[in-house]
Chain A
Amino acid sequence: MNPTLILMAVRAAVRLRRAGSEALGQYARDRAVLLPMVDDIAFPERAKVLGFFGANENKITVELRPYWESLSKQGAPKRADALDLLSAEFARLQIIDDPKLAPRADEFAGQWMIKQWARGEEPPGPFARVVLVIVDVAAEFAATDPKLFGIDGNAESLVKAMAARVAELVPDNADALGPRNLFGERVAAIFLKAGLGALAEHPEAIVDEAHLQTLVKNTLPKLVESLPNALDKQIAWRAVVENVLGPVAGEALRTVAENPQAFFGAQFGDDDLLGTLTRTYLLKVADVGLKEVVSRAGAVKLYKATVQLAAARPDLFIGKPQDATDKLLAAVFADLASVAAGAPPFDRAMIVDLAASVLESVARDGGSLLNADKPWDNLVAQLLNPVLASVANAVKQGDSAALRRLRSRANIEAMLRVVIAQIAATPGMLPSTGTAEIDRLITAVVTAMAKDEHLLLSQEDWIAILTVAAQEVAANPGRLLSVGKSTAAGSLLGTLLGDALAVAAAQWNTAGRAGGAVLFGATLREAMIVAIRAYASNSAAALLHSAKVKDLAAQLGELVTTNLTKYGGKEWLFLYRAHIFQVIETGNLPKLDDETIEAALGAAGAVP
């Protein structure tokens, strides 16, 4: 991206932020406020009548004058009904004087809500403010990257789309500069800035204005409308939406520019899946709070993954975009909460990343996992929990290098990818047995990984082993995992991996690399893979003779270490392949003299 464009975007963001706070300041200063009244002194009726006629002697008729003097002059004859008569006249005159000016109706002193400005004198209203913001942001982008607004420039389409929706960003409420109007103004600014930034990255894209129109229409007004009423909730809610809206809008616009057919086209009819998804996602994040997704980066990653998932299976949304997105996001956030609650060793940011990885993997490889009836139920939790639970259980043991590697994000992500790919290829792995099968598969591999204290296998080696194990388990879970039997019995897979690793570790401890230990790296990996396939082909015999298979590995190791110059890892592996099936079948170890070794190696084309 052009560095100047970055600088300009930063300046625009800063200015918009300032404009936003200025708008809030203006609202706070200019809204109608209550001003106090001077004290209204309560006088007795007599004082009121005398005060009135005292100040208006011309209104005292000739007939009433003796009564007036009776009350107001020293020595005048007293008349008992003087006050009553003058009071009646007082009331009558008040009505005649000004019937419209009835005494203030308030029980207590009147209260005035005072506006700051006279009509026509006020600063720009909400509508004008949104327009000004659009013009301002667009002008700054145009000044730095004129191509954006040139012929076929995408920015023009976006500005037009925004301009067409200004009225919807200005709610029709009594308070012209109320919180929703201000929010509408800020939302417009953030969205436009992010949108122009995203479109600037794709000058070559041909963006359909109608697509932008629908995206804007289905995202922004609904956000503005959803702003809560209470001040405290408004502050929290708005902070989240404003924090996430920019990058999320950027991603949405990038999708429109890069892959419009994923969300627009004849198959969608009037549905605007992207707008609905974007709006629903923002509302959901605002409702649960940003801490639920840990950070803005986490929120954006999860949004991207959700968009990818929707793009991969649009058929699940067509005709019911709001309902389907509601369900998808409710399920994702519920799963996120349940996984986080059950996997304490992992920080929430990692869980959010992993959840996004799960969605991405499902979008990429596991479309068949999505059941058309209940596509989203437990999707994330069902895939994430077995891996996290197994790893969490294993890492409780301590803090060895193996355990640190085991709990690394890269390792867990790689394991997830294998699991999801395998489940996608064999969907029966999930519905038929719940997660028991995946649980045991992962537990067997993770337990072995946790014991690999010398790091004899790389992470890639372990993932290759897991991949083969997953394939064999998918083909026949009953053989390697004892599915349906007591978990106390353990699994053949776990025994196999544990035995192989134990032999390798023993050799490493005794001989080390210099002393001829060959069971590490590619050799150990292939040995495990060979054993997995062999055990899976005859699991009943393997269960009986697994100890002998372990002995075979040890025997071959000893052969290599005592014939360092003659044999190495390759020979170890050939011999292991040559004899493992027989050992499983018979439980008898082979006779390893020069003649039989060379015969075996010769048959395998590996004569030293």
Chain B
Amino acid sequence: MKLKLSFAWVTACLLLAGCAAPVELIKLDNEWARAYTGKLEAERTNPDKFLVATSFEPQLVDLSIRAEKAGDAIAASDPAMAVGFYRVAASSAWKSGSAREAQVLAISDKAGKACASLPKQDASQPRDCIFLKLVPQLALFDVKAREIKELVSAGPTIPPAKHARSLELVNEIGGSPDGIVARVLAGYRSVETVAPTLRGYLADNLTVEYCAIQNFFGSFIGSLPSPAQVDSMRTVVNGAKASLEAAQISTTCK
């Protein structure tokens, strides 16, 4: 009788402890996908962004907090699963905008430690570990993108007082070797052996980033800055373009 009870207990514990985290990760992943696609759709149909700010961003913040806690809880005992949770936490923190994007770096650091403790480090879970390494740069681009949007939406042209900042912005995104494009591109080059979809994902992001600076360059030109400023920005844009083309990444902008 005692043996039977012990066996049942052990079995139940294993079942509960063993399956709770995977089931929770699947649940959070699904929740993330719903929230993110919902946010994109809302952004497309509600240009005033009111719905996004009031509905989806708080949802993403909450999701990010829960996923990060779940990752923290098992980081020591099950780092592989923790990395999965950190992926959800970082993605949702990033897309929550200013509400929680500042946490992305901390999550990335924790994920880095978890990946380092895996049997084959990043290669044990390539998609997640590489994404979590690059996510601070990807999220940083969104911060810069918000600033660009403010500059181009303030009026028909960028005011002369903002020309210098415009140059800095383009440099922060497309400059070499410390710009966002350069850092993400370095990550892209490091993943030659991983899933083609991850490379495609990174390449697509790089194209969007490049197009942001190319189009912003167009707004900048239309604002009639000095020829020296135009040349300076062109150098950065063309540098980014050349590096992407060298990596066979599209620089075609819609």
Residues of A whose CB lies within 8 Å of any CB of B are 10, 13-14, 17-18, 20-22, 24-25, 27-29, 31-41, 43-44, 46-52, 54-55, 57, 71-74, 94, 97-98, 101, 103-104, 107-119, 121, 231, 235, 239
User: How many Å lie between the Cα of A47 and that of B40 in the bound state?
Assistant: 23
- With A21-B19, A117-B126 known as contacts, the answer to whether A48 contacts B40 (CB < 8 A) is no
A441 to chain B, nearest CB (A): 38
Contact indicator A28/B84 (Cβ below 8 Å): yes
Contact indicator A108/B194 (Cβ below 8 Å): no
Contact indicator B217/A50 (Cβ below 8 Å): yes
Residue B10 at the chain A interface, CB threshold 8 Å: yes
Residue B204 at the chain A interface, CB threshold 8 Å: yes
User: How many Å lie between the Cα of A73 and that of B230 in the bound state?
Assistant: 10
Residues of B whose CB lies within 8 Å of any CB of A are 7, 10-11, 14-15, 17-19, 21-23, 25-27, 29, 32-33, 36-37, 40-41, 43-44, 78, 80-81, 83-84, 87, 91, 94-95, 125-128, 131, 138, 141-142, 145-146, 148-149, 152, 193-198, 200-201, 204-205, 208-209, 211-212, 214-219, 221-222, 224, 227, 230, 233-234, 237-238, 241, 250, 252-254
Contact indicator A115/B218 (Cβ below 8 Å): no
B252 — which chain A residues lie within 8 A by C-beta?
Answer: 94, 97-98, 101, 103
B219 — which chain A residues lie within 8 A by C-beta?
Answer: 43-44, 47, 50-51
Contact indicator B149/A41 (Cβ below 8 Å): yes
Q: Find the B residue at minimum CB distance from A242.
A: B15
Contact indicator A49/B218 (Cβ below 8 Å): yes
Contact indicator B22/A28 (Cβ below 8 Å): yes
Contact indicator A114/B148 (Cβ below 8 Å): no
User: How many Å lie between the Cα of A283 and that of B169 in the bound state?
Assistant: 63
Contact indicator B142/A38 (Cβ below 8 Å): yes
Which among B26, B32, B44, B91 is the interface contact of A108 at CB below 8 angstroms?
Answer: B44
Besides the known contacts A34-B29, A38-B205, 13 further A-B residue pairs in the complex with CB atoms under 8 A apart: A33-B127, A36-B95, A38-B138, A39-B141, A40-B211, A41-B215, A44-B219, A55-B214, A74-B224, A94-B252, A103-B253, A116-B126, A116-B127
Q: Find the B residue at minimum CB distance from A20.
A: B18
A488 to chain B, nearest CB (A): 50
Can you give 28 contacting A-B residue pairs, CB < 8 Å? A14-B11, A21-B15, A25-B18, A25-B22, A28-B25, A29-B25, A33-B127, A37-B208, A39-B145, A41-B145, A41-B212, A47-B216, A48-B253, A51-B217, A51-B218, A55-B214, A55-B234, A72-B222, A73-B224, A104-B204, A108-B44, A109-B40, A112-B201, A114-B127, A115-B197, A116-B126, A118-B126, A121-B194
Which among A43, A97, A104 is the interface contact of B218 at CB below 8 angstroms?
Answer: A43
User: How many Å lie between the Cα of A40 and that of B215 in the bound state?
Assistant: 11
Q: Across chains A and B, which 6 residue pairs bring their CB atoms closest together, nearest first?
A: A21-B18, A103-B254, A51-B218, A50-B218, A28-B22, A47-B218
